[in-house]
Each structure stands twice: as structure tokens, then as C-alpha cells.
Structure 1
């Protein structure tokens, strides 16, 4: 019988486990402490549980931690880790050190249904949702986990398309029984799915980043087919109903494509679209992927675009490009791994 992983269980789920096994109710908090504070890899290490209770736990449960199967290291310190999640499935987590910050980009799905033109993960198609265990293991088993300052849910997959498991993972990251991180340390990135977006905003205090990439609905639809189901204008209308001026930050991600969305008319449309929202825009360099006829704009163009937006009252930054000497674009390493296995 396959054992169930304890890593990824909320406190209420751990309480159900100890009740089922006939263990004292306080054991649930002890187990949570071993998992999320002390970060153990085996039940045997949970030494304040009696030997009898540890043996009972081990009959049906395990911690459920597993190390990366591969890693690619960039000259700038960025490391892309590959985790196996089920038979023949792989996801990526990217560790990005930057002075006194260290960010981990975490995946939520194997592949993705959104089929964004510029995304290698979308080219894979969708295979599976990750469990809270598989999401949190990217943090738990990260060699640099004790250096982490921030986590972004913007790796492989669309987080709002796997919202139950993502919310469970976010609860554990921010709860006092879990990692006890401030929600300000965690950002969820999404193309924008109506039902999931509303639920995320109302059930989590973590930061929100919306993939925008074009202020024009028709053009955005060409780049991001999800625009058909939930347009950027509907997303912005929904966001106006919430207060982003306090703890939570709202940002929009904008990949700047050469000759596509990089001129002043697009900046003007962005200003018009986002007027009245307390938000920022992050401009992103495009990492080329095979078979896609898009190029990244040069830095001078990006600086002009940023300066125009900022001078008109929309706070805009250019995100530093990292890991360009490895498989930088999201989904590249896992695609290569799966391709190699298929040949064998």
C-alpha cells in the first residue's frame, strides 16, 4: 500500500490523522512542528512522539520529502532544480539569489492548459495538478531553503487552475503552525481566471501578480488564449472591487516583445486600462523558446517604455533577467528531460 505524505497536510488534516490512529490530540501540533519548523525528512526523527506512535504513523504515512533529480546552475547564481512528480512527470523550481534576497519560483502543475504563445510550459500541454505535498516539497527539499526570503507561484502551470491545493500550500506557508511566513513574502502569478481570482483574493493575503503582456484584448488573445474566457478588462473591473492599498501588493507582468507591444501607443493604452488601480507594472525580458517567432525588445526600448509609464504616474520596474546561460525560460528543462526519456 502506498503511504500518504504528511508534508502538505494542514493542521486540521493532521488532527484527523492522529484521531484516526488514536493518538493524543496534541500530537498534531507536534507533527506540524517537525514537518514545518524542524523540517525533518523521516517520521523516526519525530522524537517527542512515543516509539509506539511513530511505528503506527509509519504503517500508513511518510514525510513525503524527495530531493531534486537534476539541477542547472547559472554563472549569476541562479539554480534551476528539477523535481520528479509521479511516473515520468517533472516540474521545475528556480532559486534566484539577489544580494540580501533569495526568491524561489515554484510550480503548481505539470504542464499547463493556458497555451500562452510565449511559454514553453504551455507547449507541453497539461498533464497533472500538483498536490500540496508536491508544491511544498519544492521548498522543503531545496538545498538553499534556509536562505529563502520570498516565494513566487509563477513556475510551471496556472495556480488558479489548481486552487484547492495551492491555497492549502499557501496556508501552510503563512500559518503559525507552518512556516509562519508573512503573506508579504509570497506572490501568486496568474493569467486571471474569474472564479479562482475572486476566491484567491478573498481567502489569501498573499501578493497578486497578473500576466498582462498586452493592453489590447485582441492582441492579448493572440498571445494568451485565456483572454477568450476572461478578458483583461473584466479582470481589471473585478480588481477595482478590492482594496490593494494596504498589506497586499498588486502588480501586472508585461513581457516586452520587439515590434509587438513596445511603443508609446501601448504605454498609453496601459495607462488607460489601469487608471484608478493601486498597482505597479513589472517589465520582463523575453527568453526565446523554440518555434516561436517572438523576440525580446532591447534594453533601451524597455527603459523608454518604463520611463514613459513612470512619468505618467504608473510605477514601473524592469525585472532583472536571470539565468540566461541555462534553460532560462520556464518549462525548458522539464521538456528536455521528458524528451530524453521518451527517446529511451
Structure 2
């Protein structure tokens, strides 16, 4: 039997793992808990490490199952500590994940580096946003749960994140390659796995899922309470949204804002509106007024992201002065707007850039565009 035909246990949510252990392997129910904790808490990559499981049971596991992680194809480390991985999946497809260090310790004398990980949910993306390298790749396929969470497993192993009670990777953002709500069932399985009390026990308050605005599934995701919601807005009017985000704009902006008005929020919870600031395109005085009208309708905060230049696009990043001017204009309208510090620009950390550069190198295209 080839390795690829074996069941990847990382693809199984806990109820499915329990059924597999009892029905396919004939093991007692408690074995499921043991295997689950070895995979998700202790982060082992093989059955030989599962020392509280008998050798005969480990041999049986190895016959029909495996723990399959993505392989590291490339790693880039920025001067600011941002680390970007290009990961190869079992079918040869490539995806990206990024580790972003916190700016400062959370407590005095705390020397432990805290990190946020940005994970991908699809190979490529169907949304074709004009500013995004991933959008240029087109859509290849959805990722499995094991591939989505395999990014976390690889990153935890890389940084030595071995104590879930004192994690190095503190927060997760589903903001990498792909549109999470177009892979909704699998994304929700991955969130339940992260939050399982016998596993990593991630709090929903430490996980954010970003969408460009997908009508089908948004309410279901909101009702689940599995994570915070971030919405990639990037344009404060329908005309500009159609230019920047042509596929997302099929759901009219007015209808999206109406859905966000009805979106279920917990106490003290707010929706994050992600806004990529592109110099001269969406940062003008009229855009400030339009954003003010949107924010007045929502319980939301505006996360300003300076554009990270992407080869082959006509856009440019705002200068520090332009960004500050735009931010102050928003403050003057009583909008809660925060600039998210851009990191990893020296390692092509924007979504899809490393994959695009890898593909260009494979074609012998020196420009990388």
C-alpha cells in the first residue's frame, strides 16, 4: 500500500478519529484521546513517538494510517523576525504560511517571543483581486483540514513550540492564500480541532478568519462563534470595489454592509474591517467620507494595512506622510482606525508573493512578475 493511500489522521476531526479508531482499527475508545493528544498537543510527526501505545497497536496504525505534514520547500526570515514558509503538499502544490512576531513582551521581564501565524485555506484563490499575487494564480483546489492545520504543526516544530500551556504561537489568522468561506466546512472543522479541550484548546478570541465578503456561509460562520470575523473591505464604494475586487463585488457593497449590521457579535466584540491603503486609489478625502458612513452603521474597527508592492500591478504603497494624513482624516470622523505595521517586506511576505516568485523561477522568468 502506498503512503498516499493511507488515511491522514490530521484530516480527521475528533468524532471522525474516534470512529476510525474503534471501527477501522478495533481499538478501545480511549486510544482516540491518546492519539489526538499526541498529534495536536505533543505535535509528533510519527507513530513511533507514541510511547503509551503498545508496539502492536502502533504497527497496526502504521499499516493503514499516517501523520502527514506539508513539507518545507523554502523558508525566508526577515530582518524584523517575520518568517515565511513555502510548503509543499502531497500532490506537489505549494502554499504559504507566515509567522509574525509581536512587537513587544506582554508582561515585564517576559523574554519569550510571541507570534501570530497567518495560514492559508486554499491553493490559489478564485477571487481575482487586482492587488493580490494569490489572485493571479487562480484557484487550484480547497485545502484539507490536515493541510490547513499542518501549517501550524510545521511552524510549531520549527520554533520549538512544545508547551501548549505557554505557547509561542499565540494567535492565528486565516488570512493567507484563498477565501476561507469558500472552504467553509473544512475551515470550521479546523477551528473545532484547534479549540478542542483535549487538544490545543485555542480560545476563539485568539483566532480571526478573514473574508472578502461571501454571502453564503457568513451567517453560519457567525452563529458558530468559532472565531472573530475580519472583512476585507479595501474599497468604500461599489464602483471602486468592482475595480479592486471584481469577484467579491458580485455581492453588492450595500448588501454586504447590511449583512454585517445583522452579524451576531459577542459582548465587547467588534468586526474588523481590513483596509489595504493604496496610494492615490482608495485614500482620498471622498473615501474618508464614504468610510465614515459605513463605520457609523457598524460595530467595527478599521485596520489600515499599507500596501505591500506586488510585481505586475500598477499600484504603489503610501508614503508614511500619506498614510498618516489618511489616518488622521479618519480619526477626525471619529473612526477607530489603526495602522497595522507592515512586516516582512524584504522576504516577499505579502500573500502569494513567495509562491509567485517560486513559479517564476521555475519558468526561468528573472522578473518574478
Name the TM-score class by shorter chain: over 0.9
| 1:203 and 2:212 correspond | no
Is 242-251 or 190-199 further displaced after alignment?
242-251
Q: 1:131 corresponds to which residue? A: 144
Cα deviation for residue 29 of structure 1 reads 1.1
Q: Deviations over 1:32-61 (max 9, x none)?
A: 111111111111211222222211111110
Q: 1:6 corresponds to which residue? A: 9
Is 261-270 or 117-126 further displaced after alignment?
261-270
Structural mapping, 1:1-344, within 5 Å: 1=1, 2-20=5-23, 21-98=25-102, 99-100=104-105, 101-142=114-155, 143-144=158-159, 146=161, 147-244=168-265, 246=267, 248-342=269-363
Q: Give yes or no for contact 2:70–2:89 (8 Å, CA) kept in 1.
A: no
Distance across 2 between alignment mates of 1:342 and 1:164: 35
Which ranges of structure 1 fall in alignment gaps of 5 or more residues?
A: none
Q: Give yes or no for contact 1:250–1:278 (8 Å, CA) kept in 2.
A: yes
Which ranges of structure 2 fall in alignment gaps of 5 or more residues?
A: 106-113, 162-167
Distance across 2 between alignment mates of 1:116 and 1:237: 22
Q: Give yes or no for contact 2:145–2:190 (8 Å, CA) kept in 1.
A: yes
Q: Give yes or no for contact 1:11–1:177 (8 Å, CA) kept in 2.
A: no
Q: Deviations over 1:90-125 (max 9, x none)?
A: 001011112233111101111100000000000011
Cα deviation for residue 221 of structure 1 reads 0.8
Is 260-269 or 113-122 further displaced after alignment?
260-269
Number of paired residues? 344
Distance across 2 between alignment mates of 1:117 and 1:145: 37
Superposition RMSD on alpha carbons, in Å? 1.7
SS for the counterpart of 1:149 is strand
SS for the counterpart of 2:10 is coil
SS for the counterpart of 2:200 is coil
TM score, norm. by length of structure 2? 0.89
Distance across 1 between alignment mates of 2:292 and 2:316: 24
